[in-house]
Amino acid sequence: MNFSIVLESKPHNLHYLKRYIKFISSLNGKHKNGEKHHICPKANDMFPEYHSFIYNPWNMIILSLREHYIAHWLLFKAFGKSQGKAFHLMCNRTNSRNSKAYQLAREYQLNEFIKSNQERILNGTHNFLTNNPGNRLGCKHSELSKQKTSKSMLGFKHSEETKLKMKGRIRSIESNQKLFKSIKIDNIIFKSCTDAAKYYNVSNTTITNWIREGKAMKL
C-alpha cells in the first residue's frame, strides 16, 4: 500500500504533507526498537480502517520519541482537526509545554472544542439538551445504588487533618448562625439580621455594627 496516496485522499496542506511523507520515507526501517507510529493516522476523521498493525503492517513505523514528536507536529500542520489533539497529547508526553508549537496546538484544540459545542447546541444534540446517558443533570440514584454506596463507605475513617478542617467549618457555621438571632431596632422585631438589612436597605455588616453600637438589640 502506498501510504502517500492514502494521505493525499484527505484535505491537507500540501507543503507540510510533502514534508511529512519525506520525513517518514527517510526513517523507514531505521529503528528496530522504539515507539510505534501510525503513518496514516487512526483517528475517526482520518483512517480508522487502517488502525490494526496486524492487518496493515505497512501503516506502522518505529520512531524515536523525538521523531515521534516531529511526526505528529507535521501531521497537525498538514491536516489540523484531530491531529491537533494528537499533537497536544504528544506535547504533554514529551513535556514540551513551553514551545510555541504546543501553544498553537492548544489554542487550535480549544477553538475546535468551542466550534464543536456550538454546532451540537444548534442542531440539538448537546448533552444538556438531550436525554443522553452521559448527562447526569437531575439524575436520581436508585435505592440499590444508594445501598451500594452506603456499603462501600462502611468502616471509612476521615484523617485527623480532615477532621480538623470539618471542625473549623462547623465553628464557622456556628459563628454565622449568631447573626440570625432575632433583633430589635426602633421597636421593630426582626427574625434575623438579613430581614433587618433588607428592611433598612443596608448590609448585614451594618446591622452587626448597629448591634455593637447599641442602636440595635439582640433578643
pTM of the model: 0.51
In a domain, 139, yes or no: no
Q: Which domain holds residue 57?
A: 3-122
The 8-class DSSP code of residue 59 comes to: G
In a domain, 159, yes or no: no
Q: Residue 6's pLDDT band (boundaries 50, 70, 90)?
A: very high
Q: Residue 153's pLDDT band (boundaries 50, 70, 90)?
A: confident
- Residues 118 and 13 placed together within one structural domain of the fold: yes
DSSP letters, 132-159, are -TT--TT----HHHHHHHHHHTTT----
Q: What is the pLDDT of residues 173-192, one digit of tens each?
A: 555 545 446 888 888 888 88
In a domain, 165, yes or no: no
- Residues 8 and 107 placed together within one structural domain of the fold: yes
In a domain, 96, yes or no: yes
Q: What is the pLDDT of residues 85-144, one digit of tens each?
A: 888 888 877 776 656 776 777 777 778 778 877 777 777 766 555 545 455 555 667 788
CA distance 148 to 128: 27
In a domain, 181, yes or no: yes
Question: Which residues are CB-contacts of 12 (< 8 A; sequence separation ≥ 6)?
Answer: 78, 79
Q: Residue 47's pLDDT band (boundaries 50, 70, 90)?
A: very high
Average pLDDT for residues 51-72, to the nearest whole number? Answer: 92
- Residues 116 and 180 placed together within one structural domain of the fold: no
- Residues 111 and 210 placed together within one structural domain of the fold: no
CA distance 106 to 159: 38
For 37-46, 128-137, 143-152, which range has the lowest pLDDT when averaged over its residues? 128-137
- Residues 36 and 115 placed together within one structural domain of the fold: yes
How many domains, in total, are found in the chain? 2
